[in-house]
Structure formats: structure tokens, C-alpha cells
Structure 1
Amino acid sequence: MEKEYKWQQIEVIEKKDREEILKSICVMNLKKSPGTTATVNDELDQVAKEDKTYLNSQFNLYDPDIIICCSRVVSDLFHELIEFPEKPDWKMTSRGVWYHSYKPGKFVISYLHPQAHVPGNMLYYTLLDAVKEIREGY
């Protein structure tokens, strides 16, 4: 986040630019099997719990700086499955985004799912503001 972008610059992005930006991002799905566009929470819960060992191995391998849990349901399940060294001490940013530090300089953010019924620019800038505030406060 060395550079701030206007929404018009990122709303439509060329493939080569997307590939470059996405090199530093990792996605970790709690459900490791295909499904429908809408998640059935009970099914997600059951399948993710079956893969708890694998999910912890994957999480430890990535050792991410920032984790964004895409929905409250996912955040709650993620925290039930992943073995953190300490119980989370949840805090809220000035704009109401929940987060906690799980290691020095490493954070978990509980946020909206990208398919939430919220305009993309609102999702992007609210999250960007939260990450900036979290990092500055550390």
C-alpha cells in the first residue's frame, strides 16, 4: 500500500496488472470442495472441521501478515479451527472494523464478504482505511 489509487484506476484492471498485484496475496478457503455460490453455514462448519489439521498446516506455512476473514460466520469458524498462541484481544478501528493481532505485526480482520451487497468502492476503501489504521497503531 505504498501508493493510493483512485477507484477509476482499479475498478477495471488489466490482466497483467492484476497478475502483478495478486502475487503478494494468498487465498485460503475453509471449505476445500466445490459448492454453490451461496454457502450453507452448517455444511461449511462440518467440512472445515474435517480439514482442521490441514487448515492449520496451511495457515502456518503461509504465515500471513494480514488475514481477512470474509464474513462474521467465516471469522468465527476460522478462530474455532486455527490454533492461535493466545486468545484474541479484539479491537475496533475508528470506522467499526474488528481486528486483532495474533503475532507481533500480524493481524486478523473480520470483514465483509466481497459478494456482500455493498458497492465495490465502499468495500475497498473501508478495508484500506482499516489496514492503514491497524498498521499505524502497531
Structure 2
Amino acid sequence: MNGNSSYQKPEPINGFPKFAYAVTEDPDRTGTIYRRFDRLSSRNLLLMESEIAELEYLQDKYDEEDRVRYTPATAKSYSDWATFEKLAKEKNPAGEPLNPQVHERIAALIIDQAKIGEVPFVGAHINPFLSPYTH
């Protein structure tokens, strides 16, 4: 707050801002009256778990393929994102990926992550990375 200890919060405007202020200023929190949407939340969590289980299966499959087709170049990409990204972007003079295995893998990863990019707090970190692969 710029080091100013005498900062006063402005009076909230009428409507939702004022109501939200009143709810959050209630010291014993008895004014919190929100519906939890348990059934919808549970359903969404189950769907997300299902998607994550599928991604986990695919990741295990990709890891096994990488183990079988081991190369020093791809080995470094297992623990270094910059190397993984570089390998995925390399192309031959005809414009085809030099490392189709890595290219396909990062493309699949990006497509799967696009769903997460729709979540605002995650999307802010992922969306800048998506553009080279989605256009």
C-alpha cells in the first residue's frame, strides 16, 4: 500500500460490490450464503479425473516409446523443457520436423494443455506458449 499505513478502503458502490464487501467484512462469517453446487462440482471433478487418467496413460505410452527409441538428444529433453521445445521446432529444408517423435509429442501435449488454458489462473501461464503450435 505504498508504505502508507493510513490507507482507507473506498466505500464500495451499490450492487454486488457493496454486497460482497458486507459479506467479507462479517467477522464471524455468518453472512456467507453461497450455494456449493456439490453435484455439479463432483461431476466436473470426475470428468477432469477421467481426462487426467487418459493423459497419464498416454504419458506412460510416450515414455515407453522414448525408452525404446533412446537417443542422447531426446534424453536431455526428458528433464529440460528448453531442449524439448527446441527439438520439437527443428525442421529440415523441406519444412518437415527433424524430430517427428518429439514434434508429435509436444503437439499432443499442447492440444491437451489447451483445455487447461481455458482456466484463467493456469491459462495466463500456458497461453503465451501455445501460439507457436496452434497457428
TM range (shorter): under 0.3
Per the normalisation by structure 1, the TM-score is 0.22
- Larger strand fraction of residues: 1
Q: Highest CA radius of gyration, 1 or 2?
A: 2
TM superposition score normalised by structure 2: 0.23
Where relative contact order (Cα < 8 A, 6+ residues apart) is larger, the structure is 1
